[in-house]
Amino acid sequence: MAYYQNKEVKFMEKKKVVIGLSGGVDSSVAAYVLKEQGYEVIGLFMKNWHDTTGLLESDCPWLEDRFDAMSVAKKLDIPFHFVDLSEQYRARVVDYMFSEYEKGRTPNPDVLCNREIKFDVFLDKAFELGADYVATGHYCRKETIMKDGQEYHRLLAGSDTNKDQSYFLCQLSQQQLSKALFPVGDIVKPEVRRIANELNLITAHKKDSQGICFVGKVDLPVFLQQKLTSKKGKVFLIDNDSDLYKRDWQQAIDNPTDEVLEELSKPFMFHPKYGKKVGEHGGAHFYTIGQRKGLNIGGFPEPLFIIGTNIDYNQIYVGMGKQTPGLYRQVLKVDKDELHWIRPDEKLKVGESRRLQIRIRYRQPLQEGIIHRREDGMYVVFDQPQRGIAPGQFAAWYVEDELIGSGVIS
């Protein structure tokens, strides 16, 4: 039964690992793998959210998750601890979400949760328990190398390409990675389920969590109304053949000057004069670029998609059909203060350019493009137009299967 029974343990002295037992199958099997590798394993469950406002069907109740995590710890014969981090989670993740949506931006709370909670506050709690490392059930891998006499930790995509979660860790630092272990990173999901089933773990057939990290699936407008006020506004339809879309994207490839990159990286500047009113909404800050559901506007040959918002005037702009040009851009910008390099030795200097692979959301296939480092930040020029680029999202760039840096789209 032991998945790692023939694998050599590469240390003489038993190391202590605190694993974040979430009550899901991935962290459950990760704890088992660590035990098989010879570590002293401690389970630690985090309570990060308990407010049910906006939750759909009471999804992801923390009490049930805690019970499942306790059951797994008992089954694996490892100590179990509980910590309440809900105050820190609200301050560092949820309040950030509210602030970003209020500005008309699209945040990714899962990325912040990993940077601010799982590998920061949780890390401190793990050290209080005497941990040498912390572990999670993320589908990604870590490799440590020596380069020019310096030790570097590489963040690699998970072996299961369908479950690779490296994108969610795109804001981690070398210090955080130095203490991180990802025990299921080289196992595919069906094998994780099989191991859990053979061990008769309570989480073996439990559905994967969805929605906001530690919160669950939410009715976003209802959830955001805890702090953001509803305000009726107008929805305008922009014609797909509008002059707004007449941008020469090829310039960014053939002639990537500072001026060209800056101009082409700007979002489309929509205005009511370019379209017609087709409905009303309850608050522009409740919506994001690329969204289709929630508008409740019918009567058109094809579905309407949000292509832009104006928070100052509380306006929403939509385009018709999946191929509406308002959804597609080929250039984006990351301001210099928002640049983050997991591998500082791979950092580009001002004036340098490099061909890499990039993604702007989880599960998006890696896209080919060139990054250009400039004085005011970094520009990403994709080989092909990208759908649904939104301010506030994280762009992450890779060298083959290694994630080397990321930044917030401006």
pLDDT in tens, 344-397: 999 999 999 999 999 999 999 999 999 999 999 999 999 999 999 999 999 999
Residues 126 and 20 in one domain: yes
Half-sphere exposure of 4 (CA within 13 A, CB side): 20
Q: Is 170 tagged catalytic?
A: no
Encoded tokens for 400? 């083959």
Shortest CA distance to 354 belongs to which of 396, 410, 409, 399?
A: 399
Encoded tokens for 372? 């250009």
Encoded tokens for 58? 């009471």
175 lies in some domain:
no
Domain that holds residue 43: 16-137+183-224
Given the residues 60, 113, 140, 170, the one annotated as active site? 113
* pTM higher than the cut 0.95: no
Residues of the chain with pLDDT under 70: 1-13, 50-61, 210-219
Shortest CA distance to 192 belongs to which of 374, 29, 1, 64?
A: 29
161 lies in some domain:
no
Q: What is the pLDDT at residue 209?
A: 74
167 lies in some domain:
no
Residues 198 and 341 in one domain: no
Q: Which of 156, 191, 224 is the last residue of a domain?
A: 224
Residues 337 and 385 in one domain: yes
Shortest CA distance to 199 belongs to which of 73, 6, 29?
A: 29
What does the alpha-carbon distance between residue 342 and residue 396 come to, in Å, rounded to a whole number? 10
Encoded tokens for 42? 């401690």
Residues 219 and 87 in one domain: yes
Structural contact between residues 331 and 261, judged by C-beta atoms closer than 8 angstroms: yes
Q: What is the pLDDT at residue 62?
A: 78
What does the alpha-carbon distance between residue 51 and residue 49 come to, in Å, rounded to a whole number? 6
Backbone angles phi, psi at 41, to 5 degrees: -110, 135
Q: What is the pLDDT at residue 151?
A: 97
pLDDT in tens, 279-309: 999 999 999 999 998 888 999 999 999 999 9
Given the residues 60, 140, 170, 213, the one annotated as active site? 213
Q: Is 113 tagged catalytic?
A: yes
163 lies in some domain:
no
Q: Which of 327, 348, 363 is the last residue of a domain?
A: 327
CATH number at residue 66: 3.40.50.620
CATH number at residue 384: 2.40.30.10
Q: Which residues contact 266 (CB under 8 A, 6 or more apart)?
A: none
- When divided into structural domains, the chain yields a total of 3
Q: What is the pLDDT at residue 49?
A: 72
